[in-house]
């Protein structure tokens, strides 16, 4: 299922505090673009009865059932990009542009 890293969770909690939305859940949504890549949407909201509900690294997350297949196995992180900018990124094997991290080989 969907996961938020500790770095991303800390940033989500900071954003909730700064925005005065503590106590609200993080709502996630996703949509597939024509090229197979995925657009991600998120914001603070109230949970609905038919939402899928989960907690990851202390953050309450909800999503409508229709978004679950696109968000399944996705990981949301908060990372520094090559240009020095910090932002949320998504590592998602359901995205056509997903490239798994290279495995480190051990020397024998």
CATH 3.30.465.10 is the classification of domain 3-91: no
| Residue 79, token pair as written in the block | 């990372």
- Phi and psi torsions of 83, nearest 5°: -85, 5
Indicate if the pLDDT at residue 108 is higher than 50.
no
Full-model pTM: 0.86
Q: How does the average pLDDT of the chain come out, rounded? A: 92
pLDDT at residue 97, rounded to an integer: 87
pLDDT at residue 84, rounded to an integer: 85
Indicate if the pLDDT at residue 103 is higher than 80.
no
Q: Where are the domains of the chain?
A: 3-91
| Residue 83, token pair as written in the block | 């240009």
Do residues 28 and 63 make contact, with C-beta atoms less than 8 angstroms apart? yes
pLDDT tens, residue by residue, 52-88: 999 999 999 999 999 999 999 999 999 988 888 899 9
């Amino acid at each position: 299922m969907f996961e938020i890293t500790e770095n991303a969770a800390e940033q989500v909690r900071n954003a909730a505090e700064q925005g005065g939305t503590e106590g609200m859940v993080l709502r996630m949504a996703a949509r597939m673009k024509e090229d197979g890549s995925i657009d991600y949407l998120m914001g603070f909201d109230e949970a609905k009865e038919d939402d899928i509900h989960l907690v990851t690294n202390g953050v309450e997350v909800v999503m409508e059932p229709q978004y679950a297949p696109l968000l399944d196995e996705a990981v949301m992180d908060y990372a520094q990009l090559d240009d020095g900018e910090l932002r949320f990124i998504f590592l998602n094997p359901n995205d056509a542009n997903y490239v798994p991290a290279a495995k480190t080989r051990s020397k024998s």
